[in-house]
Amino acid sequence: MISTRWLEKRKPYWTRLEQLLDQSTKRGFRSLGRSELQELGLLYRQIAADLAALREDRGSVHFARYLNQLLARAHNIIYSTPKASPSAILKFFALTYPRIFRHNLRFVEIALLIFMASALVGAVLTFQDPDFKLSILGPQMVQTIEKHEMWTHSIVGIKPLASSAIMTNNMSVGFMTFALGITAGLGTIYMLLFNGLLLGVIGMACHLSGMSIKLWEFVAPHGVLELPAIFLAGGAGLRIAAGLLFPGYLPRRESLARAGTEAVQLLLGSIPILVIAGIIEAFVSPTGLPTGLKFAMAGALFVLLLAYLFGAGASPTKADSSV
């Protein structure tokens, strides 16, 4: 039987939830601050437990009915899915996303280090044993490199189709790198290691065949966007892994949910970057533009990307860690 003392102890929480719901109804859901939203979710879960207890007591039917109505209102607000306006999407990419990136920078840095370490290993192994590249690249591509030919000449004649295929492939790699974070990060690490190794082997193989300039003038214009996008996807995958492996004081399920939310947001920013990289890879990288112009374009794009990620959305009054 529910005691009067228990009811008196719980009623302030019910009243507080009703106040938050009234505020949301009168002034809109966006009127609730971050702490109030967290409080709303916590009260919803706690009062749901209260309702379950009251239903076991026949003398508390009217309280149970009241909480049932209260929770129904809260459910409609918490799980509503308002349509995102174009201005909200623009604000996310212009302001919110760079803050999310800086807040999760350590995971992106780890992804970068894994990739670069693997690329270095691939380059060293190929330099020490030139036949090693056969097991990674296959005989057809190796023969093409040894003939001092680029394997990308076919892109020029089918630019629109190639651009679409490149975007699809790059996004598939990015999404796979991200999604494999759920394997405690092992799958994400594998994707970063493999792609890093591949780049290192190709780079050294082209160097040994005297094709370094041909390779990097092709890679540079789109690579300064494509590779950071892969690091972003890798960082997102590692963020999921961190939430799964290191929940801290949170229940593992809640830790994973929070990590997943941040990881998805981190991944979203890589999509437009990959789209732009795919267009450049099809329409600019394989063309006969002067080498200096291609490298200048790559440098300009890289500076713009860094300025966006590290400068956009910065506020003198709020630290990035508040995201």
Taking the CB of residue 187, how many other CB atoms lie within 10 A of it?
18
Model pLDDT, residue 23: 83
Radius of gyration of the chain (CA): 26
Backbone angles phi, psi at 3, to 5 degrees: -85, 155
Structure tokens at 155: 């892109």
Q: What is the mean pLDDT of the segment spanning 178-204?
A: 93
CA distance 256 to 282: 38
* Structure confidence by residue, pLDDT tens digits, 34-43: 788 888 888 8
Q: What is the mean pLDDT of the segment spanning 239-256?
A: 88
Lowest pLDDT segment from 55-59, 81-85, 111-115: 81-85
Taking the CB of residue 169, how many other CB atoms lie within 10 A of it?
12
Query: Which runs of consecutive H residues, i.e. helices, occur in the chain?
Result: 4-27, 34-54, 61-78, 86-91, 97-103, 105-128, 132-137, 139-146, 159-179, 186-208, 212-245, 252-268, 270-283, 291-311
* Structure confidence by residue, pLDDT tens digits, 192-247: 999 999 999 999 988 988 888 988 998 899 999 999 999 999 999 999 999 999 98
Q: What is the mean pLDDT of the segment spanning 153-180?
A: 67
